[in-house]
Structure 1
Amino acid sequence: MGTWDIGHFDSDTAADFSGDLDDAPEGERAGLLRDRLREVAGTGDAYLDSDIAVEAAVAAAALIAAQCPGGEPVTTPYGPDEPLPELPVELRPLAVEALDRVLTKPSELLELWDESDGAGPWKEGVLRLRTVLAAAAGEAAGETAASLG
């Protein structure tokens, strides 16, 4: 799996994704996150490859959650070196959808973790991300509705 721990960036694939974000112009980083999230969320019932799931759902969601109330900052040396701009709140519900897809079969990443000793802590970490993102997505939806009302 190229994974050395249960952290959201503790794999070769997630570390490579961080490098991709660093290489992208600042104005394109939110779009890169959006594209990866849509890629996972749009798989429906099709088999979800673990590399796509690591990038899109887990690493991207961790970066978005870091900008939410209650989110944990990404401090690992395997995360992006360049700071991310303020990310659009519209990414929050998309990140929740992508995480839900990762945790739903058929998902290679879920299968790989289920076969390991770290399955419980890994799932707990992903579910913490989901909780932060879902709460922030609800707040953002409420703020948008209030501003339109």
Structure 2
Amino acid sequence: MGTWDVGLFDNDTAADFCGDLDEAAADEREGIVRSTLVRVIGIAGYLEAPESEEAVAAAALVAAQCPGGEPADPIYGPEEPLPDLTGLRDLALQALDRIMTEPSELMDLWADSDGGPWRVNIRRLQNVLLPQPPGEQLSLI
């Protein structure tokens, strides 16, 4: 596994995914993020690490556009602008839930090492992606 730290983009697969987004036409980028999330959600059996790493990066890109979201990694994240991905919040949450549910190779790999900080990053990401309660939404009046 080409992983160098616990960050959401700190692995070869996530960096390659972001590079693929940069190379895609602007009008294809939302579809790439969507299909990455949907693919992981649909896997009922053993979920391989590479698919999970791409989906974590995709979810992080969605969260980056949400209130409280952190910007994508300035080195390994995409360089090209992304369309509005906030409509994919629910898919991103579902994908993260699937990654954190057995059988999941990525979850197993992090369990075998000191994966506590990685799990904290995933929980933070999930919290950003949760819908805001109605009382916390900004008023346009």
Moved runs in structure 1, 4+ residues, more than 2 A? none
* Cα distance per residue 1:63-117 (max 9 Å; x no partner): 000000111111330111111122251x100000000000011000000000112
- Of 121, 124, 127 in structure 1, the residue corresponding to residue 120 of structure 2 is 124
- Of 92, 97, 103 in structure 1, the residue corresponding to residue 100 of structure 2 is 103
Q: Distance in 2 between matches of 1:129 and 1:135?
A: 12
Contact preservation (8 Å) 2:63, 2:86: no
Q: Distance in 1 between matches of 2:50 and 2:85?
A: 23
The residue type equivalent to 1:129 in the other structure is L
Distance 1:88 1:65, change over 3 A: closer
Give the SS at the match of 1:135: coil
- When the two structures are superposed, what TM-score results if normalisation uses the length of structure 1? 0.86
Contact preservation (8 Å) 2:93, 2:130: yes
Number of aligned residue pairs: give it.
135
* Cα distance per residue 1:90-145 (max 9 Å; x no partner): x100000000000011000000000112x100001011111110135x66xx9xxx
Give the SS at the match of 2:126: helix
| Percent of residue pairs identical | 57
Q: Distance in 1 between matches of 2:42 and 2:96?
A: 12
Aligned to 1:64: 62
**Alignment RMSD, CA only?**
1.5
- When the two structures are superposed, what TM-score results if normalisation uses the length of structure 2? 0.91
Mean Cα displacement is larger for which, 77-86 or 32-41?
A: 77-86
Contact preservation (8 Å) 1:33, 1:60: yes
Q: Distance in 1 between matches of 2:26 and 2:107?
A: 32
- Of 77, 95, 99 in structure 2, the residue corresponding to residue 79 of structure 1 is 77
The residue type equivalent to 1:48 in the other structure is L
Gaps spanning 5+ residues in structure 2: where? none
